[in-house]
Structure 1
Amino acid sequence: MADDFAKAVQLHQAGRLLEAVEIYQRILVSNPYDEGANHLLGVACSQMGQFDLAIHLISEAIRANDRVPDYHVNLGNAQFSARRLPEAEASYRRALALNVDIPEALFGLGNTLAQTGRLDDALVAHERAVALRPAFVEALANMAGVLNRLGRPAEAVDKLRRAVAERPGEASLHADLGRALLATDRPAEADATAARALRLAPDSAPILVAAADVIRARGRLEEAMEHASRAAELSPNYPPAVLILARLLRAMGRDERAAETYLRLAGIESAGVSHLFEAANAMNEMRRLPEAVALYQTLLAREHDHSEVWNNLGNALREQGELDRAAECYETAEKLCPDDPIVMSNRAALLGSLGRVQEAEALSRRVVELSPGAAVPLSNLGQALYAQGRMEEAREQFDAAGLADPDNDDIRFHRGIVRLMLGEFTEGWALYEARWGNRKRADVHRHPGTPQWRGEDVAGRTLLLWSEQGFGDTLQFVRYAPLAAARGARVILEVQPALVSLLQGMPGIAKVVAVGGETGPVDLQAPLMSLPLAFGTTPDTIPAAIPYLAPPPERLEPWTRRLNASLPPGSRIGLVWAGDSRDHDIECTLIDRRRSLALAQLQPLLAVTGAAFVSLQVGRQGLQARDETRVADLTSGITDFADTAALIAGLDLVISVDTSTAHLAAAMGKPVWLLSRFDGCWRWLMGRDDSPWYPTLRLYRQPKAGDWETPLARMAADLAAWLKGR
């Protein structure tokens, strides 16, 4: 039997595993308790990927003799491979309790600690292993990996150079060294090292991936793609190959293929948590929210206590509008990782979006205490204060956030908005340009290749002015188009299709096209909402001459006839009670909920006698007029804003929430009474009931969030007096 065991060991050491296994099994048939055979059969099973069987067999050997350190080390190795990390750590520690100077036990312990995020402890374990065996290449390489994760790439380079010196022919070491050199800003050395790795192993998927990573960082995307594609071809189910391919496709602007490639990871059994997490985050960033949510949920089924995944799932659900589920995710993440400022900041932002601004303020202040000087918590606090109308305090927090992170475009944007609200236009318009740094806004910029006009001499040049946000924004800021024409520009307007007919009659405009239409060659472009900056607009220099919009003459007669046929003579008042929810954008949807009413809430106005009320409400909210006999509904004939303008032309007053119809009526010079939510839009400024943008507009503001009764009661009294005076 001893001869059989010696022969099996010899075969095992020669790599002839199946032959060795056969002999180990024969020995165990004769003696099931043979500790040596159980141990080495377990090691062989572990080498063949049969980790559960390996754990069972080595455990049998330990039952027979628990004083052999190697048994515990190899049990730990099998447990580590089976992802049973707490058990693996315990096995390595038992081995070290028997003998503190076992490099393999320290190496295994270091790997386990690194996997569980205890990087400092992992580094100590690897250092002890290398101190005992200076030429321990695997420990040097893994120590370098830990140092990289700790943000110490220069030290990682040193360890990898030592490893390469021991094994100059090992391609993976050169590949790791190339990545580490790149992290220390030595791109030329990184390139040369990656090339050396490729020469050593030109058909190795891991080496091809590492080379692609280095070359990608050098900006040579096509060359990197060749290596990544080859890696994926050689090993289609190798997660790092799939990931580098997806990263490159995304970097090259091929988002559809990138998304398909990321999603392949969900079907690859060997894809780890980090691989799936990157894929889920990429889906989130690409606004493919259902796929992101599905991947996060797959991750949580595998690793339920991963606080970052819970947090990011909350972010994706919030973007989808599933706010209650998002709140649950943030709460779970906070329980798993108490006082995590990122999670708390996200929950504070969600509370603000839900209108729970006092809670948002309190939580934001707590995060600021935990992370003094951090930009995002300061910005969140600013937003909570802004929503409560505490503008000076909000400005203070936004400015502090700006000092902490001066290049953060979202923070610059908020700094601009609070200044515009306070009437500080000069600085406000300049900061408002930061809106293009937001990923949602950046996608809207349709003409990034054409120079932007910023107010310089434009005489004799063709200037394209284009809509970027909602209908109301276009109607408000299109007033600048004739002013640009007056400076000698040939002005082309590119606007939403529903506005084309209305705006074709504006003076000085050479051409009006719908978004995506043919503009012809242009010299300069400007988004409409950047024109106040180009013209240096202050509250005192707003171009407020009205009317600057009018319906096309051919639309007036049929609408006048229809209006007269439907209503008796007398005062005619148009009503708009709700906005457009824009279901694709949760922030817009939440704002719409705060600005909109139901028609039934306008009863105080409808009870005022002496006027005929006309619905100007289009869309699904307009259906409410069918059940209200005091409101005539003619909107079925409206096809675009030119029709709406023709209908408004026959009215004496328009009462509206903050919508595009209010802008249209005010731009036509009609009296407009606007119901403004408590956290009203910046364009209406602070503490006034008139508007420098529209001389005929009067504001009725909520005194507190959700309170429409107070402004409606005041408006009803004013309406009765207005009608009496006519």
Structure 2
Amino acid sequence: MATILEALTLALDLHLAGRFGEAQELYTRILDVEPEQPDALHYLGVLAGQVGRGEFGLTLIDKALALRPDASDIHANRANLLRGLDRLDEAEFCYRRALSIRPEFAEAWTDRAFARHGRGDPAAIDATAGMLERALQIEPALEPAREKLVDLLLGRGRLRLESRQVTPALTDLIRAAELDQQNADIAFLLGNALFAAGLRADSVIAFRNALSLVPDFLSAALNLGIALAATNRTDAALAPLHHAVRIDPAHPAPRDTLALALRSLGRADEADALDQAPLPPPPPAKPAAKPASRRPRRPP
């Protein structure tokens, strides 16, 4: 016959595998044998929240906390249940309690950041970013924290750049680029911020990175050409500008910028030929998608 520990281990494995019904049954059987088993109460409470029974889950977790008041993971999961019930002030209190017990609890910092961001007030982004940075200091490979921080920094950097807050935008975008070196949008916006800050040579590197990640990135090709020209490398600017024209021959900005670069190099004949070249016809409109037919549902 299995011991309580063996049964609990199996129940948790089923729970983590998403086999909630089997896990619930086994947790319940454990509690039939040992009604005050704190782990079974805790995990069954978490499961209840996952299946939409948050209030019942709180009841179970409160029983577990009465047995283990200094268990940081139970406080953190109580906070998660409260967040799911939109009881954010209570959730914040529980996250603080969990972190006071275990300050290096990276997942709790991450979950607290998610809850803080859910409030939607202007200060939330700064607070959320700080919590996520703390989580990553503790556990650099914590993917949910990294992904959320990248999204926040990219969004805030974009807004700051649009409102001409160039230095704060640079801070956000440089950090975002450190965290995600495969994101062409970050590389492109970083190039724009560097260019706006007068760091033209550095912007060339950023635009090249964006274009290497997405070779048909029209704006990156165009801005790379502009940045090269701004650093007195107009000859080198021709290649990305020609590439931009190839990406979208009908777009006026790449053609006009390329013609201007050619004229600055004394190649007026080529510029005139470019100006006089007919624009390609627009691509044919795609036919409207036929609405999908709906099958009648089987009655419950």
Q: TM-score, normalised by structure 1?
A: 0.26
Letter in 2 for 1:193: L
Change (3 A) 1:282 1:139: farther
Query: Residues 152, 226 of structure 1: CA spacing in aligned structure 2 closer, same or farther, 3 A cutoff?
Result: same
What SS does the aligned partner of 2:182 have? helix
- Name 1:202's counterpart in structure 2: 69
Q: 1:211 deviation in Å? A: 0.6
Query: Structure 1 679/156 Cα, relative in aligned 2: closer, same or farther at 3 Å?
Result: farther
Deviation per CA, 1:282-313: give whole Å up to 9, x if none.
Answer: 2212125544565x6xxxxxxxxxxxxxxxx4
Which runs of 5 or more structure 1 residues have no equivalent in the other structure? Answer: 1-132, 297-312, 324-348, 356-586, 600-619, 625-656, 658-674, 685-698, 703-707, 719-726
CA shift digits 1:488-537 (9 cap, x unpaired): xxxxxxxxxxxxxxxxxxxxxxxxxxxxxxxxxxxxxxxxxxxxxxxxxx
Match of 1:188 among 41, 55, 62: 55
Runs of 4+ aligned residues of structure 1 deviating over 6 Å after TM superposition are 349-352, 621-624, 699-702, 708-711
| Corresponding residue for residue 285 of structure 1 | 151
CA distance in 1, matches of 2:253, 2:63: 73
1:677–1:184 distance in 2 versus 1, CA, 3 Å:
same
Residues 291 and 145 from structure 1, CA distance in 2 versus in 1: closer, same or farther, beyond 3 angstroms?
farther
Counterpart CA distance in 2 for 1:700 and 1:256 is 37
- Alpha-carbon distance in 1 for matches of 2:184, 2:253: 35
What is the aligned partner in structure 1 of residue 105 from structure 2? 238
Contact 1:144 1:159 in 2 (8 A): yes
Partner residue of 1:213? 80
- 1:315 maps to 182
For residues 268-279 of structure 1, what are the structure 2 equivalents within 5 Å? 268=138, 271=139, 273=141, 276-279=142-145
2:248 corresponding residue in structure 1: 679
Aligned equivalents of 1:717, 1:207: Cα separation in 2: 70
**Distance change in 2, residues 1:238/1:168 (3 Å):** farther
2:14 alignment counterpart: 147
From 96, 115, 136, the counterpart of 1:248: 115
Contact 1:140/1:162 (8 A) holds in 2: no
Q: Distance in 2 between matches of 1:351 and 1:148?
A: 43
Q: Which of the two has greater helix per residue? A: 2
Distance 1:284 1:714, change over 3 A: closer
Give yes or no for contact 1:205–1:230 (8 Å, CA) kept in 2: yes
1:713 corresponds, among 273, 277, 298, to 273
| Cα distance in 2 between the residues matched to 1:158 and 1:711 | 76
**% identical equivalent positions:** 20
- 1:156 Cα shift? 2.2
Alpha-carbon contact 2:12-2:23 (below 8 Å) kept = yes
Larger Rg: 1
Residue identity opposite 2:150 in structure 1? N
For 2:276 and 2:95, the matched residues in 1 are separated by 69
Match of 1:592 in 2: 222
For residues 182 and 212 of structure 1, the distance between their equivalents in structure 2, rounded to whole angstroms, comes to 11
The whole-number CA distance in structure 1 between the counterparts of 2:18 and 2:35 is 26
Q: CA deviation at 1:174?
A: 1.6
Task: Find the aligned partners of 1:186 and 1:280 in 2 and give their Cα distance.
Answer: 30
Question: Contact (CA 8 Å) 1:595, 1:676: kept in 2 or not?
Answer: no
Q: Secondary structure at the match of 2:56?
A: helix
Deviation at 1:226, TM superposition (A): 0.9
- Report 1 or 2 for greater relative contact order, CA contacts < 8 Å, sequence distance ≥ 6: 2
> Which residue is equivalent to 1:354?
215
Contact 2:176 2:186 in 1 (8 A): no
* Alpha carbons of structure 1 residues 261 and 701: separation in structure 2 relative to 1, 3 Å: closer
Determine the structure 2 residue equivalent to 1:222. Answer: 89
> CA RMSD for the aligned pairs?
4.4
- Alpha-carbon distance in structure 2 between the residues aligned to 1:229 and 1:157: 29
Of 125, 128, 136 in structure 2, the residue corresponding to residue 258 of structure 1 is: 128
Instruction: Give the Cα–Cα distance (whole angstroms) in 1 for the partners of residues 130 and 26 of structure 2.
Output: 38
Shift of 1:225: 0.7
Contact 2:177–2:186, Cα closer than 8 Å, also in 1: no
Tell me the SS of whatever aligns to 1:264: helix
Aligned residues: 220
TM-score in terms of structure 2 length: 0.57
Counterparts of 1:354 and 1:713, CA distance in 2: 26
Structure 1 residues 289 and 172, CA, compared in 2 at 3 Å: closer, same or farther? farther
Which whole-Å CA distance do the structure 2 matches of 1:198 and 1:228 have between them? 14
